[in-house]
Structure 1
Amino acid sequence: MIRENADEIADAIQKDLGRCKSETAVFDLDLLEADINEAIKNLHYWTKPEYVTKSLMYTVMSCYVHREPLGVALIIGAWNYPIQLVVLPLIGAIAAGNCAVLKPSEISKNSAELIANLIPKYLDNECFKVVCGGVDETTELLEQKFDKIFYTGNNTVGKIVMTAAAKHLTPVVLELGGKCPVYVADDADLKISANRLVWAKMLNCGQTCVAPDFILCSDKIQVSAFHAVLGTV
């Protein structure tokens, strides 16, 4: 799906976010394909029984952990990485043997429509469904009982998701945005650090949950940076 529709995915994201196609190639397409290959490569090891140590009482027994699918997962994506943040959790769900309901962000409507069109073409329609829509549709979904909920977004909606999940004792994974510090060590190269900080902050127009928000450093680095800036004026 990723390989055959790379151009369509890049076009949809460009329409939604204005993001250049080269960024989509690296941070969506290549990332997703690498994760898929990783799952295929390691699936045998992830699913095989994990034998555990046992006491003398259980010497004649075979004791191991056997992992089984949870059931049906609800995956609620975010608008800033509208394809990646829906498909990445889906890869894990499929690898674990689960079915899934995908709810792409309605804000990135072109990407949401593309996901709704592509998923039925490549995956079993009985096992994987896409639900498009806004607050009303998401609210209705959260009223249903799922076996796992994966949500990417802000803290406010995260609380709503967790409250809804608590009614059914559904385990949740919340990938929420926050303030991300960057620590610059005393032996860091300031020019390289500055270039990397600006790159990370500007990636996807700054709309990345791990984009640097502020810098932590020693007085020594503060003084060095101050002199460096003055020297370039």
Structure 2
Amino acid sequence: MNSRQEDILQALIEQYISSGSPVSSGLIAQQAGLNVSSATVRNEFAALEEDDYIQQPHTSAGRLPTEKAYHWYITRLNNRPIDNQVNTDLVEWFDHLGITEFKQVAKQLAGLTNLAVFWQHGDDVYCTGLTNLWQQPEYNQHQVLCDLSATIDRLDEIINQIFVDLPSTTQVLLGAESPFGRTASVIITKYDSDQGSGVIGILGPWRMDYDRNLRIIKYINNKLSYGQKKR
């Protein structure tokens, strides 16, 4: 993939995450700031589609990112220089509340991400924000909703299965890698604090704001793993 294709693919993914609608070549040409014509974007779309990075749901529709495209995008985000840009409200919330109040932190995180959040610490497993999840258009189909609900009912079992093999770095598991089924994506991190080890996860559809959510969950991991030890 050349650099122009990378820029176009990133613009398409971020536009789709924002809108939830297939993305046209005209929209990329007009709004992405890439200084390319619609015809050029269409040509690059054809190449990206041939390489299985994007797909066209209907003949007259725009394009959608594939699972392969999301994996590429997440790797691109993880390879960027580390910075401390997180939501100011989140920082103030932690300073006010205290990181050990896990349930309140999880509720706040669910509100910030508009997704579901689960938290395992010791023998306690907590999940919140399921209403946020059910309101996502990806879960409008009854069977998809039922399948994900049945998986969440086994949350403690799933965490126990993946806990040992989780690396110390934050992971994004989606599609075939997701323990919550192919329609779900999860940003998950394992931490070690003075109060013990645990797991935090943000659960949603593939179409989630990875840029923002990765920053937030990495910030929380840092506060849990290092903040307590400095007190």
TM range, smaller chain: under 0.3
Greater gyration radius:
1
